């Protein structure tokens, strides 16, 4: 079988192929810049907070009576100190009716109990989940119940809209205050 010399591309064909690649690269670059621009605030929030900081507002002096009003502010989820913290209680130890028992205990502590139920699994230790960026209400609840700070976690779930803090009662619930 005779050998056939492969056809080489002409200079014009090579230039057209290169031009096509440059156009594609330029379009992808424009798209990437656009996506970074549109998502800049989201990315800034993701990389600027480690999730364990308290986010405090400023103290403002009331000009009428000179008293200070300290507001907890962040993304608008916990602005009103006149309302109680909204709490969900989940039974994470398997004892029947435990979340219902704790409902009255937390109401006595002036918390607004929005839901009670069972956790997805059993927990050895009780934990407090902050459902908002401001973790102060979660740390306050943990302190009142004697839960260590290491068991206070930030877990924001956009599907949960009316709960500030979730309390998951673990097998150590008898040690809680």
pTM of the model: 0.55
- Residue 4, CA distances (Å) to 1, 13, 31 in order: 9, 21, 44
Give residue-wise pLDDT tens across range 28-63: 999 999 888 877 766 665 555 444 443 333 333 333
Q: Who has greater pLDDT, 3 or 89?
A: 89
Contacts 24+ apart (CB under 8 A), 15-18: none
- Please, where are the H alpha helices in 86-174? 98-108, 136-145
Under the banding of pLDDT at 50, 70 and 90, the label for residue 115 is very high
């Amino acid at each position: 079988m005779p050998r056939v010399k492969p056809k080489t591309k002409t200079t014009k064909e090579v230039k057209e192929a290169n031009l096509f690649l440059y156009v594609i690269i330029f379009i992808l670059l424009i798209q990437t810049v656009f996506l970074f621009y549109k998502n800049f605030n989201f990315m800034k929030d993701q990389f600027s907070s480690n999730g364990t900081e308290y986010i405090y507002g400023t103290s403002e002096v009331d000009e009428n009576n000179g008293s200070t009003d300290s507001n907890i502010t962040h993304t608008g989820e916990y602005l009103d100190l006149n309302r109680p913290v909204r709490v969900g209680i989940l039974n994470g130890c398997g004892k029947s009716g435990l979340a219902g028992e704790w409902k009255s205990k937390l109401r006595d502590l002036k918390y607004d109990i929005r839901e009670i139920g069972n956790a997805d699994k059993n927990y050895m230790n009780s934990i407090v989940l902050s459902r908002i960026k401001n973790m102060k209400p979660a740390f306050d609840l943990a302190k009142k119940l004697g839960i260590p700070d290491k068991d206070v976690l930030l877990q924001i779930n956009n599907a949960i809209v009316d709960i500030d803090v979730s309390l998951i009662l673990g097998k150590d619930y008898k040690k809680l205050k």
